[in-house]
Structures are given as C-alpha cells and as structure tokens.
Structure 1
Amino acid sequence: MRVALRALAWLALAIGLVPLTGWIGSSIPRNSAWTEPAAGVEIMVETNGVHTAIVMPLVTSQKDWRSDFPASDLGAPNRPYTHVSVSWGEREVFLNTPTWAELSPMTALRAATGGDGLLHVAHYVRPAPSPDARVLRLREEEYARLVAVIEAQVASPDQRKVYPGYEDWDVFYDAPGRYHAGRTCNQWTSNTLAAAGVRTGWWTPFAGGVMKWVAHPRGTSKA
C-alpha cells in the first residue's frame, strides 16, 4: 500500500508539473527580436481552445494552395473559398474524435506515446477575426518561408490518402512525422511560425501557449 501511494503521489506530481512546464516553456521566446510589420501578408492563428491551426489566403502571389488542397476533395466543393486552415495532429485523435468530449483516455495515451501524423485542412469563406482567430501579418519573405515549411508536409495527390472531415468543408490527408508528447499539434503550429521567423514560444504543448504570442483583434477582450 505504501509503494502504491508513493507511485500515485509521483504520478500526481508529474501530471501537475505538465501545465507548469508548458507555461514556462511557452513563455521563453524564439525569434525574440521579431516585430509584426504594419503591412504584409495577413494570416490567422486560430484555436478551438485545445487545438491550433494556421489560416492562410487560398491564393497569393507567393502561393496558390488549390493544387495542394483541391476543393474537389471536399463535400461542398463549389463555395467561393478564400482561405485555407492547415494543422497537424495525431491520426487516431483526428479521425475518431469529432468532438473533444469523445476523446477516450486510451486514445489520448496512445497519442502521447506516439502516433502517425495527419494534416487537417479546412476551407473558409472570408473568415472574420475574433479572439479565437487572430490576424498575424508577415513580410513576404516570412510568408514564403511559412509556405515552404507547410509544403514539406504535403504529399502529392497521387501519394496520399484522403479522409473525410467533420463537415463538408474540411478534409484530412496523410502527412509525415510522428506525434508524441514532445511534438504535439500545438508544437507543430509554433514550430511552423518560428521557422518563418515569427516570435513564438519554445515549447507549446497547449493551445494557450501558442495564442498568447498573437495579439487580440482590436475591440475584443482577451480570451
């Protein structure tokens, strides 16, 4: 009994330390000298409170995403889409948990110990800024670097499988990489932003650790 209680105490301590270390790690900046330009390519960083994604214009002079993420893969391909939201995560969590309430402890444990990666791609029509979808301006060369990082995650259409999304405007694609506790969906977001040169946290296992580096839209309260 003494050994079991000691083990439980250590487990409780470890669980309690995860939020603390996540807060500390996300507060240490990468690209600390970076400043947001007054003008440039406008992207968004969005969150549902647990997961984060990068929202980009569907077509710019630097990149046309329609060849990588064709609307024909969607259930509703004929809407006038203007933006594409891209995120990366663990296959089983993405495909088998349409809502976070349906995330089972076993699925979460398997994901934390290692799982295959998957891209989630949603298509939007003129998304409005909000506390959960914050605009971030990038210089053209920074956006080009962001595009290059995401392109490296995209398999060609003839070498990937397409999985239905949760709605008729989103879809999943096979993607490289292994998901684990040290490389979460939110870490993917901050790593991608950091590779573009944007200021963000070093270790961001939680959505809040990503979002705290992106300014709230004017006229909205902090989330």
Structure 2
Amino acid sequence: MMTVKKIAKVILRLVLGFVAFILLYLLSAFLFSIWTVKREAGTSNDIAIYILTNGDHTDIVVPAKNAITDWSKEISYQNTAGRDTTGQYLAIGWGDKGFYLNTPTWADLKFSTAFKAAFALSTSAIHATYYQSMPESSDCKKIMISNDQYKRLVAFVDSSFKRDAAGKVINIKTNANYGKTDAFYEAKRKYNLFYTCNTWANNALKASGQTACVWTPFDRGIFYHYR
C-alpha cells in the first residue's frame, strides 16, 4: 500500500504537471497569437465584412444578402423569435453547444459544461444573429475583401454546418436565444482547448486570405492584429 508520503508526492506531481501545462498553454497562445499570418496582397476591396467580439467570443459578420450569397435562404429570418426580415448583417459564430445553450452569463457556467467543452466531450453549434447596422468600434472592426475571398469565406462557413439527409442546415429549437434576432444551428467538429470559438473565427479569416494569427484560442489574439 502507498504511504501518505508517497500519496502526497503523487498529488504534488499532478498539481505541478497541471500548472506546467497551463503555463505552456498560455505561453503558446501568446506567441502564436502575435505571430502574424499576413493578408493576401494585390486584392480588391469589394465587400465589407466585420469581426465582432463580446469580450470573449469572436463572430464573423457578413452581409445578409448580396450578389454572391443570400444567407437568409438557409439561415432563415423565420428561425428567430422576432422573424424580422430587415436585418442587413449576419453575425456568425461557432462554439460549444453547452456553452451556447446553457450558459447565458459567466455566472451560469457549470463545471461540467466547462470540462466537457475543454476536452471535446460535447457537440458544437453555430450561433447566427441578424443586425440592422454594424457600427465600427474597438469591438467591431471592418475588413474589406475581394469577391473571390468572400466566396472562400462563404465556403468555410458553409462547411461548418451539420446538415440533414436532404442537405439542409439543422435549426436547434430552443428557448435559449439571446434576443429576437438570433438562432442556433447544429455544427461540425468539437470545441476543445485547442480549437475554440476564436480559433474557428481566426481560421475563417485565414481561409479568406485576411490578416490573422498562426493560432489563437482567445479573441484578443485576433483583435491584436486589427488595433
């Protein structure tokens, strides 16, 4: 049988290992966040998109409708509580389904939700919100991209949706909506410490040839390059 002293040593090693992992994770996040993936050169400025943060989570904001894509055909206004068809912009974010549906504020966060999200033990969702306007601020940055880059962005976002047998996006029926202009949809992949909501948004920027981080789990990493 293990003595108390041996048990204490095992616990100490586990604690030190955990602390070392956290420190390495944060250091990696910092270094890879400030390491820039440069924007593609020589492209036209055809379409305005935006990056929008609530202080923790980054959304990619696109025109609700233009000549390339009419998002409302799949991300229907009718799936929102208000069913308002006048929204001009669509903010799209990917994340852990448990966070989205069960954690309206940080005060509501449960250990089980955080644990499952950190270790890819739950499913993911896409949160889509319509807006009438998109004023620029420190939390909302405009990015001008070309038509070709926008097509690549559309393809990246489209590939993130889980679809039914008929190829349609799957609306999540819930009362956990944040307001009258948003809705949730089933998504591919699983959230984890190394692929977060902000990693997804950063990858969306990279897919469309925009300035981004090499890797970041945090919104601050993305916005660092757009200050």
Residues 43/120 of structure 1: CA separation in 2 closer, same or farther (3 Å cut): same
What's the offset of the Cα at 1:174?
A: 0.7
Q: What is the TM-score normalised by the length of structure 1? A: 0.88
Which residue, out of 35, 43, 46, partners 1:40?
Answer: 46
Which residue of structure 2 aligns with residue 118 of structure 1? Answer: 125
Residues 129 and 181 of structure 2 are in contact (CA less than 8 Å); yes or no, is this contact kept in structure 1? yes
Please give the alpha-carbon distance, in whole angstroms, between the structure 1 residues aligned to 2:15 and 2:157: 41
Q: Please state whether the residue corresponding to 1:76 is helix, strand or coil.
A: coil
Aligned to 1:212: 224
Confirm or deny: 8 A CA contact 1:36 1:138 kept in the other structure: no
Verify: 1:160 aligned to 2:170, yes or no.
yes
1:151 aligns with 2:158: yes
- Higher mean C-alpha deviation, range 7-16 or range 171-180: 7-16
Identify unmatched segments of 5+ residues in structure 2: 1-7
CA distance in 2, matches of 1:84, 1:173: 14
Q: Residue 96 of structure 1 corresponds to which residue in structure 2?
A: 102
Per-residue deviation, residues 164-212 of structure 1 (Å, max 9, x unmatched): 3221111101111122222111111011110111121121101111111
The 5 Å alignment of 1:12-31 reads 12-30=19-37
* 1:90 partner amino acid: D
Structure 1 contact 36–136 (Cα < 8 Å) conserved:
no
Distance 1:8 1:27 in 2: 29
Q: Give 1:50 shift.
A: 1.0
The alpha-carbon distance between structure 1 residues 107 and 140, as it changes in their structure 2 partners (threshold 3 A), is same
User: Residue type of the partner of 1:103?
Assistant: L
* 1:175 maps to 2:182: no
Cα distance, 1:18 vs structure 2: 2.1
Question: Does residue 138 of structure 1 match 2:145?
Answer: yes
Alignment identity in percent? 28
* Kept after mapping to 1: 8 A contact 2:53/2:219: yes
Q: Deviations over 1:65-87 (max 9, x none)?
A: 11011110111112521000001
Q: Deviations over 1:105-160 (max 9, x none)?
A: 22111101112111000110012111111111111111111011112223368562
* 1:150 alignment partner, SS class: helix
Comparing 161-170 with 17-26, which one deviates more in the overlay?
A: 161-170
Residue identity matched to 2:208: A
TM norm structure 2: 0.87
CA drift at 1:38:
7.2
AA aligned to 1:20 is L
Distance in 2 (alpha carbons) for counterparts of 1:15 and 1:151: 33
Instruction: Give the residue type in structure 2 aligned to 1:2.
Output: K
- Aligned amino acid, residue 75 of structure 1: A
Verify the 8 A CA contact 1:37 1:137 in the aligned structure 2.
no
The answer to whether the Cα contact below 8 Å between 1:73 and 1:162 also exists between their aligned partners in 2 is no
Q: Which residue of the partner structure matches residue 199 of structure 2?
A: 187
One-letter amino acid of the structure 1 residue matched with residue 133 of structure 2: R
Gaps of 5+ in 1: 216-223
Which secondary structure does the structure 2 equivalent of 1:22 belong to? helix
